[in-house]
Amino acid sequence: MLRVRDLSDEEGHALSRLVKRSNDPTVVKRAMIVLHSFQGFSPPKIAGLVLWSEDWVRRVIKDYNRIGRDALYPKKSPGPEPKFTPEIRKAIVSFALSRPKDHGWQALTGWSLDLLQETLVFEGVVESISRERLRQILLEESVTFQSVKTWKRSKDPKFAEKLRRLNELTNRPHNPPIVVSVDEMGPISLQPYGGHTWARSGHPDRVPATYKRLGGVRYLMGAYDYYHKRFRGYLSSSKSGVGWVRFLRWVRRKYPSGGRIYLIQDNLSTHTTPAAVAEARKLRITFAPTPTNASHLNPIETHFRTLRRWAFTGSNYADWDEARTALRIAIRRLNRIHCVTNSRPALRWWTRH
């Protein structure tokens, strides 16, 4: 009777693991054939257990006796040569990432699938390709149709100097100075605001689509104490040099101890008027401006987004008293979260590397 050769303990454990864990049914059945044969079952009996023909069972046993474990893995046919080789796919991606004007289409700024398909055939990259296959290849190569994004790069000649100054002010965990980040959020108007809220499926919350803005605009004058993680602010009817001087006095009153205040602010012209500079000098306030086109370096910016979402999402306030109350509640909530989750000053994101 045909039997498999003697198996070592290591081979037996390996075959058992294949039977239990392999995801390939062919490998599992071939391993079962070898194990059954080692346990003394005849080829006809094994054929009935694995539902294969007796000839195939004998072939598996003979192959295992001849070449060992490699006999368990089927040799799959490579199939025909792929129509779109890696070189062709690379060329397709290169065309998709280029601009149509680079290939003679002067009046066009972006590819459509039809135009890209036509150009690939005309340029001889492929003999033919369907729109769907072109879309699949681009998707497989992680090339997708996306919105064009804009970006800003600071051209401030003193960028490094200002960034170093900000790092010095915001990275003093021991005996830190009074560092306050300030800015205006707005303009804010009395109008319906959309957003995302929880609602029953098919019954979204709704706000009026038609309205008149008769209440004017307001600006949230915000001040964020960087080390104590406390946000303060009030609504102002204008954003001007006179209003900024008034805001500087308001900030000074929040720190009656008289210590010097370092004010992180952007480069808006109303922030550095002669009156504002003179008032800051009198109030013992030192300006720490952020680089131009680098508002992300101002710590207060991220909190404005949070306050706007909490106070205005899905709202339709009738007057400024309601809006002011909503902002006050949102600020109180923000400060409460900071008191719970921030027990020590955090490093700014640009100093963590």
DSSP-derived 3-state class of residue 230: strand
For residues 273 and 268, give the distance between their C-alpha atoms in angstroms, rounded to a whole number: 10
Go through the chain and tell me how many residues it has.
353
Global pTM reads 0.60
Q: Is the pLDDT of residue 344 over 90?
A: no
Query: With contact defined as beta carbons under 8 Å apart, do 114 and 147 qualify?
Result: no
Residues of the chain above pLDDT 90, percent: 63
- The predicted-structure confidence for 309-330, as pLDDT tens digits, reads as follows 999 999 999 999 999 999 999 9
**What was the pLDDT predicted at 345?**
44
Task: Estimate to the nearest angstrom the gap between the alpha carbon of 204 and the chain centroid.
Answer: 27
Q: Which of 65, 68, 61, 66 is nearest to 29 (CA)?
A: 61
**What was the pLDDT predicted at 66?**
92
Query: With contact defined as beta carbons under 8 Å apart, do 29 and 10 qualify?
Result: no
Long-range CB pairs of 156-160, under 8 A, 24+ apart, other chains included: 156/291, 156/292, 156/293, 156/294, 158/291, 159/291, 159/294
Q: Is the pLDDT of residue 347 over 70?
A: no
Span 117-125, average pLDDT: 93
- The predicted-structure confidence for 57-113, as pLDDT tens digits, reads as follows 999 999 999 999 899 988 877 777 888 999 999 999 999 999 998 888 887 888 999
**What was the pLDDT predicted at 343?**
44
For residues 334 and 331, give the distance between their C-alpha atoms in angstroms, rounded to a whole number: 5
Q: Is the pLDDT of residue 272 over 90?
A: yes
Q: Residues with Cβ < 8 Å from 53, sequence gap 6 or more? A: 47
Q: Is the pLDDT of residue 235 over 90?
A: yes
For residues 132 and 113, give the distance between their C-alpha atoms in angstroms, rounded to a whole number: 9
The string of DSSP codes covering 159-220 is HHHHHHHHHHHT---SS--EEEEEEEEEEEESS--------BTTB-----S-----S-EEEE
For residues 42 and 315, give the distance between their C-alpha atoms in angstroms, rounded to a whole number: 79
Confidence of residue 348 (pLDDT cuts 50, 70, 90): very low
Confidence of residue 340 (pLDDT cuts 50, 70, 90): low
For residues 285 and 231, give the distance between their C-alpha atoms in angstroms, rounded to a whole number: 18
- The predicted-structure confidence for 196-225, as pLDDT tens digits, reads as follows 888 899 888 898 887 888 889 999 999 999
For residues 79 and 17, give the distance between their C-alpha atoms in angstroms, rounded to a whole number: 30
Q: Around Cβ 162, how many Cβ atoms within 10 Å?
A: 20
DSSP H/E element including 26:
helix 25-38
The string of DSSP codes covering 99-166 is -GGGGT-TT--S--HHHHHHHHHHTTS-S---HHHHHHHHHHTT----PPP-------TTHHHHHHHH
Query: With contact defined as beta carbons under 8 Å apart, do 221 and 248 qualify?
Result: no
Query: With contact defined as beta carbons under 8 Å apart, do 25 and 33 qualify?
Result: no
